[in-house]
Amino acid sequence: MRGSTRPSEPLNIQAPDLRTVAQSPNPMETIMVDRTTAPLTEPAASPPHDPDAAVNEVPKFGRLALYSIQHLLTFYATVLVLPIIIAAGIHLSQSDTVVLLGGTILAGGIATIIQSVGIWKVGIRKPLVLGGSAVVIGPTIAIGNANGGGTVGLLAVFGASIIAGLVLVAAAPLYGWLMRLFPPIVVGSVIAMVGFSLLPIMVGLVGGGDPTAKSFGDTANLTIAGATFATIILLYRFGRGLLKSMAILLGLIVGLIVGVAFGIVDFAPVAEASWFNLVLPFHFGVPTFNFSAIVAMTIAILVVGVECTSSYFAMGEIIGRPPTNKEIRNGIFAEGIAAVLGGIFSAVPPTTFNGNVGLVRASNMKSRWVVATAGVLMILLSCLPKLAAVVSVLPSATVGAALLTLFGIIATIGIQTLGKVDLSQDRNLIVVALSLAAGIIPTAHPQIFQHLPSGLQMVLQSGIVVTAVVAVLLNLAFNGLTRKNGDETSSPAIETPEATTAR
């Protein structure tokens, strides 16, 4: 009846779904709606958070260029040190050192594109830059000198790098299974040690680079480092948007300006560098294959694979999703191919560079296309020695100050990962405590193992490797593989259906 409807109560009518009407045994009953209770519209379900959305974002050109340049400077200012150390260790000439540097940048750029963009089943498709690892410095110098030094020794290094890379490619399928040995309690300890072990090196750069020099730690170097720190801190505190996210880059620029004011920046390398130099494969000749060299480099590259895996989990913490077993396997494939590229292009074997992992966190720019663009810039830089020389004149103090920030962030990510572990339980506390303590031993005094066999020294002189081995063994002893005790023993690499079908 007309009087049964209260005038003050609005009608709430929902249009019927025609497909439902057609399928209903009584269409008229389906069309009838409750005028007082049926909602006008169904509330839209909020879309689930996609942690990979930021990874796959393609920023606008301006932001893409700026963030890519920041990654390029962070990579170059640090990776530059590795070829120089190796060149000095095996007595390379200045011209050959330039070739080694150019090859390292070129191989790193190609490998960065492969890792971030992905080709078939190769590449983790995350914002990771491949540069170099300190783990390979010792074996590279040892192999080079044992095989005659100079360019002759380099040929043995490159041959060993090619074979070691192929071995890592063959071992890649096993890394997913091996992740059962790397729950958060292990991964967090290793990531933290990655940061802790590199902080002392950065402190040396803050002082000027050479602790034996009279200028080490002088007013100029400390002022440059202080200006860099102050710029980064002020931008993080008061900056907004793009300005804040470019804090590291702007800190480097301020440090360079202060260095010029103190008169310690030498632009002679810029004037002397040629404008163009194409890096060709096998510049020094056909690599040689020495069995002992291959064994030594293979051990080092496999150790680097563990270090890279920790970097993948560090990036997973930043993105908001741990890597899957499939992603780890694809990433290790790329690391192995990168080592092969190093041997082909006369380079230090490129590996995932932790400094750029910290930069992703610091800038909050997680796009893998930014890193891929940085890879393209690295390739261009390898062909433009004069442009590369501009970056090489950055004072050591400003590079050290910027990287102290980045590696401090890496250590903090490790601590954040350990926050998932119940450290109120004694067994977990002792695993973390002894793992970090063991890693500090070679970090503080690497010569402590100098009387052991050379092959064993190569492994034990890396605090990262020692922490990884001790953490895995202690976790197996105290927690095993099957104990379910919260997050600390669950594998961080979880293969989800979405992740499986995403590629």
Q: In this predicted model, what pLDDT tens digit does every residue of 434-450 receive, in sequence order? A: 999 998 998 888 788 88
Contact 99, 346 (CB under 8 A): yes
Distance CA 346, CA 101 (A): 9
> What average pLDDT does range 465-478 have in this prediction?
88
Classify the C-alpha dihedral 175-178-180-185 as positive or negative. negative
Which pair of tokens denotes residue 399?
A: 């590079």
Residue reference for tokens 């095989």: 147
Contact 355, 407 (CB under 8 A): yes
DSSP state of 180: G
Which pair of tokens denotes residue 17?
A: 């779904």
Please say if the pLDDT value at position 334 is more than 90: yes
Rounded to an integer, what is the distance from CA 142 to the centroid of its chain?
26
Residue, of 303 and 188, whose pLDDT is higher: 188
Q: Using only C-alpha atoms, what is the Rg of the chain? A: 27
CA nearest to 111, candidates 400, 316, 304, 359? 304
Distance CA 287, CA 153 (A): 10
DSSP state of 170: H
Residue, of 30 and 293, whose pLDDT is higher: 293
Residue, of 385 and 104, whose pLDDT is higher: 104
Distance CA 391, CA 388 (A): 5
Residue, of 483 and 92, whose pLDDT is higher: 92
Name the percent of the chain lying above pLDDT 70. Answer: 79
Report pLDDT digits (tens) over 139-191. 787 788 778 888 888 999 999 999 999 999 998 888 767 667 778 888 788 87
- Of the listed ranges 75-89, 109-123, 186-200, 255-269, the one predicted with least confidence: 75-89
The alpha-helical segments, DSSP class H, found in 263-290 are 268-272
Please say if the pLDDT value at position 500 is more than 50: no
Q: Helix 137-146 crosses helix 291-319 at what angle (to 10 degrees)? A: 170
Report pLDDT digits (tens) over 69-110. 888 877 776 666 677 667 766 777 767 777 888 888 899 999
Which pair of tokens denotes residue 376?
A: 């393209």
Predicted confidence at residue 37, as pLDDT, reads 45
Query: pLDDT class for 274, splitting at 50, 70, 90?
Result: confident
Distance CA 443, CA 118 (A): 34
Which residues on adjacent β-strands are paired with residue 487?
485
Residue reference for tokens 């601590």: 415
Predicted confidence at residue 477, as pLDDT, reads 92
Predicted confidence at residue 432, as pLDDT, reads 94
Query: pLDDT class for 454, splitting at 50, 70, 90?
Result: low
Predicted confidence at residue 183, as pLDDT, reads 82
Predicted confidence at residue 48, as pLDDT, reads 56
DSSP state of 267: -
- Residue 486 — left, alpha, or beta (φ > 0 → left; ψ -120 to 50 → alpha)? left
Predicted confidence at residue 330, as pLDDT, reads 92
Residue, of 369 and 199, whose pLDDT is higher: 369
Which pair of tokens denotes residue 322?
A: 């741990």
Which one-letter amino acid corresponds to residue 331? Answer: G
Query: pLDDT class for 459, splitting at 50, 70, 90?
Result: low
**What is the rounded average pLDDT for all residues in the chain?**
78
Contact 339, 165 (CB under 8 A): yes
Please say if the pLDDT value at position 332 is more than 80: yes
Residue, of 279 and 22, whose pLDDT is higher: 279
CA nearest to 225, candidates 346, 108, 353, 394? 394
Predicted confidence at residue 403, as pLDDT, reads 77
Distance CA 162, CA 336 (A): 9
Query: pLDDT class for 491, splitting at 50, 70, 90?
Result: very low
Distance CA 128, CA 122 (A): 13
Predicted confidence at residue 142, as pLDDT, reads 74
| Phi and psi torsions of 119, nearest 5° | -130, 110
Please count the CA atoms within 13 angstroms of the CA of 231 that sit on its side-chain side. Answer: 24
Predicted confidence at residue 296, as pLDDT, reads 74
Q: Rounded to 5, what percent of the chain is helix, strand, coil?
A: 70, 0, 30
Predicted confidence at residue 368, as pLDDT, reads 93
Residue, of 419 and 455, whose pLDDT is higher: 419
Predicted confidence at residue 484, as pLDDT, reads 45
Residue, of 468 and 471, whose pLDDT is higher: 471
Name the percent of the chain lying above pLDDT 90. Answer: 21
Please say if the pLDDT value at position 217 is more than 80: yes
Predicted confidence at residue 110, as pLDDT, reads 94
Report pLDDT digits (tens) over 407-437. 787 788 788 889 888 888 999 999 999 999 9
- Of the listed ranges 112-121, 147-156, 242-251, the one predicted with least confidence: 242-251
Q: Look at residue 263 and give its three-state secondary structure.
A: coil
Predicted confidence at residue 375, as pLDDT, reads 92
Report pLDDT digits (tens) over 345-383. 988 888 887 777 878 887 888 899 999 999 999 998 888
Predicted confidence at residue 348, as pLDDT, reads 84
CA nearest to 52, candidates 114, 125, 113? 125
Residue reference for tokens 């920790």: 310
> What average pLDDT does range 333-337 have in this prediction?
93
Contact 343, 287 (CB under 8 A): yes
